[in-house]
Structure 1
Amino acid sequence: MTGGARMGVPFVVAAPSGTGKTTVCRACVGRDPRLEFSISHTTRAPRAGERSGVDYHFVSPADFRSMVEESEFLEHASYGGENYGTSIEALRVPMEDRGHDVLLEIEVQGAAQLRDRQRNARFIFLLPPSMKVLEQRLRGRGTDTADAIDRRLGVADRELEAIRFFDYAVVNDDLENTISSVLEIIAAEREGSQAAVEMARARHDRQDVHTAWLSGGGSRRD
Structure 2
Amino acid sequence: LLKAHFNTNEILTSLMLVYIAQLFLDWLIRGAWRDPKGFNFPVSRDFAPEAVLPAIWEESGRAHWAFIFAIVAAIGVWFMLRYTLKGFEVVVLGQSERAGRFAGFSSKKMIWFSFLFSGALAGLAGICEVSGSIGHLQPAISPGYGFSAIIVAFLGRLNPLGIIASGLVLALTYLGGEAAQLSIGVSDKVTRVFQGLLLFFVLSCDTLIYYKIRIIWSRVKGGAA
TM over 0.5: no
Higher strand share: 1
Q: Larger RCO: Structure 1 or Structure 2 (Cα < 8 Å, ≥ 6 residues apart)? A: 1
Calculate the TM-score normalised by the size of structure 2. Answer: 0.28
